[in-house]
Amino acid sequence: MEKREYKKIVEKNTPSAPKLRNAIIAFLIGGFMGVLGNFLVDIYSFYFNIGSKDASVFMIITLVFLGCFLTCLGFFDKWVNFAKCGLIIPITGFAHAMMSAALEYRKEGLVTGIGANMFKLAGSVIIFGVVSAYIFGLLRIFIMGV
């Protein structure tokens, strides 16, 4: 049988993901994360009497901590699995990816285990985050002059 013909059999029998449902859940939970982030920024800037730029750093630290802490408690993976991009795209997804890799390899030593494997999933995010920031920075200079 040709590969193309077999692919048709496979596609016919493989259920497709409920994309609309997933998108709505991700939209709602992702939106809630945005609201939570903004709420934290407001709270921090109000109580600590700091600018919103500093307060957003505090907000990021809080969300990263929450992502890591809940991952360690062992149930955040089920939340992520349910919310999908709603929790993966925000900074919580990054924290979750790093912490889950660190947990996985913690018994293989600090350097050879945690150190070497912590960025297994999240390493790409950092690399391409830096690369794209650099490119957009250059574009900004060339186009806008600042």
Partner 1 sequence: MTFKYNNVYINETSTICGPYENKGPLAKYFDKHYDDFYFEQKTWEQAEIKSIEDSVNLLLNKINLKNSDVDVHIGGDLLNQIVATNYASKNIGIPLIGIYGACSTSCLSLILASNMIDKNQVKNAIVTASSHNNGAEKQFRNPVEYGGPKKDYTTFTTTGCASAYLSNITSNIKIESGTLGTVCDLGITDVFNMGAVMSPAAAKVIYDHLKDTGRTVDYYDLILTGDLGEVGKNILKEYMKKEYNISLKNYEDSACMIFNTDKQPVYTGGSGPACLPLVTYSYILDKMKKGKLNRVLIVATGALMNPSMCNQKLSIPSIAHAISLEVSK
| Sites of contact with partner 1 (CB under 8 A) | 1, 3, 5-7, 9-10, 12-15, 17, 71, 74, 76-81, 84, 87-88, 96-97, 99-101, 103-104, 107, 120-121
Residue placing its CB nearer to partner 1 in the complex, 13 or 49 = 13
Distance of CA 91 to the CA centre of its chain: 5
As to burial, measured by CB atoms within 10 angstroms (0-12 exposed, 13-18 middle, 19+ buried), residue 74 is exposed
Instruction: Measure the CA–CA gap between 133 and 102, rounded to whole angstroms.
Output: 26
Least distance CB 90 / partner 1 (angstroms): 14
Least distance CB 13 / partner 1 (angstroms): 4
Least distance CB 38 / partner 1 (angstroms): 24
Residue placing its CB nearer to partner 1 in the complex, 5 or 20 = 5
Residue placing its CB nearer to partner 1 in the complex, 12 or 53 = 12
Q: How many residues does the chain have?
A: 146
Residue placing its CB nearer to partner 1 in the complex, 51 or 74 = 74
Least distance CB 49 / partner 1 (angstroms): 37
Alpha helices in the chain (DSSP H): 3-13, 19-47, 52-73, 76-83, 85-88, 91-104, 116-117, 123-144
Q: Which of 43, 81, 37 is nearest to 60 (CA)?
A: 37
